Structure 1
């Protein structure tokens, strides 16, 4: 094997120093991810990977490889992808994404809710056409679509609206993975799915729901004051097209069912973080979370969310961890603990 040149060795040294400085600046370079308590199970959440699919596919690979490698030690039962899998909805970027996500195939079940950059020519969300729905990627008959945990899809021939079930911690869970700015007909279908699973606790996964001001998207009340609302995209202007944002989803879907517990989304820039808890129509508490890191160096340096569900059935520890840097982000809005059945005060610096 050829020995690396002096220039190559210096470049590696510079990269190592850079990553060490980044880790020290943004989190705790602990050397390994926090251990989980005995009896806990873990939910892994992948925020927007668009920059990885376009320019840094090794970071996407690092995330999914880490999940598989740590599946047993951390009892990882399910993986959610919050959308914007790609940046431009191109075949090359979907090839990268497929390679990274296929690492999970047959290992850890997962659900994907495509984002605005996954639709339309060049990822401009001008229509609802996406490579995601093609059989060669994540469409019908793909390994993604034929996972044993998949319960069904909204539309024949397309997989971008799906539901999934899994068991963890002695409880049955239902995941609704919905398109960017879900249509009214998609919400009607989702309501039927939840009603058919009254004994499952429910998670909503969709690309745009919460904003970084700790409230949910609300076009009727705030309009463009909240940037990147689904109502502002080209898909909303198509004849006969309907689009729903966070407030719409809350009123038409989430608040109506007593078994809803959590919502997840990415999409939003700013500080890329948001959280609130609210009571639904039946008095049940719903925890709503935004996480997005695409604006950070190299598209996020592998940051992802790890939720540890403790064996008491109520306590959930939310952490942010990067397998690329092997460090935790300990900021107040990146690591916190909630009780599934209790309202949580707004997140604030200590």
Structure 2
């Protein structure tokens, strides 16, 4: 259903050229991001940050991205910051070889917790977990240190928003499966549902029960699920990770999202192709059991800026401006924008980088 729409957007771009507000052209000087409507608000979406923290040299780029968002909280009415998972490259690496990383797993977790901790007293921050947030190097098991470095007490806003949590594989409370209630600046009620990487059946059962509670019947539900769409905007059916009891994108759609009546947005990451922005993204719109549109977006950037072991992703962020039912998506790099020599590169101008969709009434 979605691909013709996505190709239509691409055709418009090829015919009419880039038209992103703020994009620099010879006739038009660079413009920093601004709200198109003064009554709108912004959701900032972070891609996989793993490659920013696995090398010490890349960590200042993540700091720059975070500081830029902090500086825009008032100007862009930033009310919510979300992360699509793979906060780190290695959950428990002990001996970095300098090639795949020069930081241990502990150092990577400390770095990402410290950088993203700048939001803790300023704006709600919520993340899901990716495959690299588990195991030793890459989900060899279901053990994650996420809760240690992002505990419920960390962010004062999300602590008050937390409504429920699931259990990890050991049966202990965890924020890798969690539900947060969010009231937007324009009074819209949201439930943000975080589910673990390739969720277990028990995790999906918990999520289904949560979104079907009567108290959330009038909420728009946002799902954060790391591995969901591929670069062709198709549901990921399976992957070769050594874990059992797993559900990837297609199964998550069929078991949780499609049968729901109030899930309307899904954000994910995970995919990438060296130095190819289009290989890091996906978008599709389907309908759930209630006939309501479900907009599903994959956004990543980790292999931009030099491939898998480059600078971590060229500083790219997604800015979603909510203006009533209309959501305008823009892709922007504070890293490129910081210098007059590179700011002409700071806006993503492809049809897959800037577009608009509408929520159902």
Which of the five TM-score ranges fits, normalised by the shorter chain? 0.7 to 0.9
Deviation, 1:146, is: 6.2
CA RMSD of aligned residues (A): 1.8
Shift of 1:303: 0.3
Counterpart of 1:181?
A: 198
What secondary structure is seen at the aligned counterpart in 1 of 2:246?
coil
Contact 1:140 1:158 in 2 (8 A): no
- 2:176 maps to 160
Distance of 1:307 and 1:146 partners within structure 2: 20
TM-score after normalising by structure 1: 0.81
SS at 2:335 equivalent: coil
In 2, Cα distance between equivalents of 1:213 and 1:202: 24
TM-score, normalised on structure 2? 0.78
For 1:145 and 1:188, how far apart are their aligned partners in 2?
27
Structure 2: 5+ residue stretches without partners: 1-21, 25-29, 92-104, 274-278, 306-310, 338-345
Matched, 1:128 2:136: no
Give the corresponding residue for 2:132: 117
Aligned pairs for 1:22-41 (under 5 A) are 28-29=23-24, 30-41=30-41
Aligned to 2:115: 100
Q: Distance in 2 between matches of 1:145 and 1:319?
A: 25
Contact 1:33 1:328 in 2 (8 A): no
Structure 1 unaligned residues grouped into runs of 5+: 1-26, 220-228, 237-241, 343-350
Q: Which region of structure 1 is more displaced relative to structure 2, 260-269 or 158-167?
A: 158-167
1:308 aligns with 2:310: no
CA contact (8 A) 2:121 2:156 kept: no
Residue 144 of structure 1 deviates from its aligned partner by 7.1
* Alignment partners' CA distance in 1, 2:151 and 2:176: 8
**In the alignment, structure 1 residue 79 sits paired with structure 2 residue 78:** no
Q: CA–CA distance in 1 between the matches of 2:328 and 2:158?
A: 31
Aligned partner (choices 202, 208, 215) of residue 234 of structure 2: 215
Distance 1:177 1:109, change over 3 A: same
DSSP 3-state at the match of 2:336: coil
**CA displacement 1:160-204 (0-9 Å, x = unmatched):** 111111111221001111111011111111111111211110011
Q: Secondary structure at the match of 1:44?
A: strand
